[in-house]
């Protein structure tokens, strides 16, 4: 690695450790916020599961733990060394930054930018930093997704299949990324899919054994995510919709919402088959927008891949609007939530309105990137920024 990349690595690791150890109460405060913690990513919930497991109590009977057994067992193993947990999360975040720089180095000639740029943007992103400090378990998912993408680019299909299977094991929506991922490994398309399925089966069998031969964890983890059984406020589009809906219609519309999550993944992959890396990033952004339990950390992770669209930046139409939308959402979401829950002077409409602003910010980035890719195709790969076309 070049010197700048090493500097980025050290800045990432030391900044995370410094914030975690200098402000030890910040982790608990962030873990209680809806912007960085959900029922399926909460570190408190993971610790609860580890405590129950350590005392040989049923982990999934109370409706509190929504993490899969392997992750709970791993946390139970770390409990005697809990003071080192911030080191683990800082190391994982640093590894993601390192992987982004490796991918940028692979595509340096195409991107025409220094390879450390995506890494430093990831390190300095406040959404990513605070997500790491909150010790959200979504970091395990993000690391698995980024690792899978890197190994797919390097044509290491087995490693790519292992990591995408683990990402799907932690969050079932991540399995959908197998579609664009297999497109990257197009020479071994079937092999990647079959390997990931076999590894997923193996992970489930291990979980079955760790859970004392009981499959009840499936209901508490995957089924709870897909059916959105915990209707708690978050930055997503689901919670307010189902709270306000008549109970009779809820099962049908939960199916509709899940179909909506899936519906755009194959079209993105097929339409941008010649640019499979870009298709993968678009699919990642779509999942960030539409899944039931999103956090700001998920949005920060998606935005970390935007620098890879640098050759298309001249075509972007709404970069300023998208940036302002993100700033408004980040600043006002905790304010509106406090007005609603803390002071009681607001109501749920305040917070849901700002969550819609956050969704609009992600959507505007996705629309802008798709438009830029269609324009570069229209210009036959030779940018013609002077030609003005009406955006469709």
The answer to whether 308 and 103 are in contact (CB under 8 A) is yes
User: What is the pLDDT at residue 143?
Assistant: 95
Q: pLDDT 10s digit of each residue in the chain, 392 long?
A: 566 888 889 999 999 999 999 988 888 899 888 889 888 999 999 999 888 888 888 888 877 889 999 999 999 898 888 788 899 999 999 999 999 999 999 888 887 888 889 999 999 999 999 999 999 999 999 999 999 999 999 888 899 999 999 999 999 999 999 999 988 887 677 888 899 999 999 999 999 999 888 898 898 899 989 988 888 888 888 888 888 777 888 888 889 889 989 999 999 999 998 889 999 999 999 999 999 899 999 999 999 999 998 888 888 888 899 999 999 999 988 888 888 887 777 778 888 889 999 999 999 999 999 998 998 888 877 777 677 665 54
CA distance linking residue 152 with residue 185, whole number of Å: 6
The answer to whether 62 and 220 are in contact (CB under 8 A) is no
Closest CA to 39 of 172, 216, 229, 273: 229
CA distance linking residue 40 with residue 232, whole number of Å: 11
Q: What is the DSSP letter of 267?
A: H
CA distance linking residue 143 with residue 121, whole number of Å: 16
User: What is the pLDDT at residue 341?
Assistant: 83
Per-state percent for the chain, helix, strand, coil, to nearest 5: 75, 0, 25
User: What is the pLDDT at residue 392?
Assistant: 47
User: What is the pLDDT at residue 365?
Assistant: 93
The answer to whether 136 and 295 are in contact (CB under 8 A) is yes
Q: Which helix (H) or strand (E) holds 318?
A: none
The answer to whether 75 and 47 are in contact (CB under 8 A) is yes
User: What is the pLDDT at residue 88?
Assistant: 93
The answer to whether 79 and 54 are in contact (CB under 8 A) is yes
The number of CA neighbours under 13 Å toward the Cβ of 361 is 24
What tokens does 235 get?
């930055």
User: What is the pLDDT at residue 316?
Assistant: 87
∠ CA 116-100-118, nearest 5°, is 45
User: What is the pLDDT at residue 229?
Assistant: 85
Model-level pTM?
0.93
């Amino acid at each position: 690695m070049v010197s700048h990349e090493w500097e980025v690595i050290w800045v990432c690791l030391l900044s995370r450790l410094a914030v975690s150890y200098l402000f030890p109460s910040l982790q608990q405060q962030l873990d209680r916020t809806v912007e960085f913690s959900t029922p399926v990513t909460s570190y408190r919930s993971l610790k609860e599961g580890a405590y129950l497991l350590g005392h040989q109590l049923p982990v999934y009977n109370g409706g509190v733990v929504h993490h899969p057994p392997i992750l709970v067992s791993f946390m139970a193993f770390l409990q005697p060394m809990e003071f080192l947990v911030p080191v683990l999360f800082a190391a994982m975040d640093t590894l993601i930054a390192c992987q982004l720089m490796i991918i940028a180095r692979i595509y340096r000639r195409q991107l025409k930018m220094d390879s450390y740029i995506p890494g430093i943007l990831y390190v300095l992103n406040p959404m990513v930093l605070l997500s790491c400090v909150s010790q959200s378990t979504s970091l395990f998912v993000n690391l698995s997704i980024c690792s899978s993408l890197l190994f797919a680019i390097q044509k290491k299909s087995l490693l790519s299949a292992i990591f995408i299977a683990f990402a799907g094991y932690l969050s079932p929506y991540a399995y959908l990324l197998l579609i664009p991922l297999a497109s990257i490994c197009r020479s071994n398309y079937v092999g990647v899919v079959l390997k990931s399925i076999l590894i997923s089966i193996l992970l489930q069998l291990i979980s079955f054994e760790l859970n004392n031969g009981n499959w009840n964890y499936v209901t508490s983890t995957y089924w709870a995510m897909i059916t959105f059984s915990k209707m708690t406020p978050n930055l997503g589009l689901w919670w307010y919709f189902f709270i306000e809906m008549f109970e009779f219609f809820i099962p049908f519309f939960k199916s509709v919402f899940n179909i909506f999550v899936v519906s755009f993944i194959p079209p993105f992959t097929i339409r941008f088959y010649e640019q499979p890396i870009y298709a993968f990033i678009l699919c990642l952004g779509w999942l960030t927008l539409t899944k039931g339990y999103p956090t700001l950390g998920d949005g920060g992770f998606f935005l970390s891949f935007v620098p890879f669209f640098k050759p298309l930046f001249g075509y972007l139409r709404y970069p300023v609007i998208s940036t302002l939308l993100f700033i408004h959402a980040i600043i006002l979401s905790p304010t509106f939530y406090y007005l609603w829950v803390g002071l009681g002077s607001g109501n749920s409409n305040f917070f849901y309105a700002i969550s819609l602003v956050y969704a609009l910010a992600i959507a505007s980035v996705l629309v802008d990137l798709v438009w830029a890719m269609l324009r570069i195709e229209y210009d036959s790969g030779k940018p013609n920024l002077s030609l003005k076309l009406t955006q469709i």
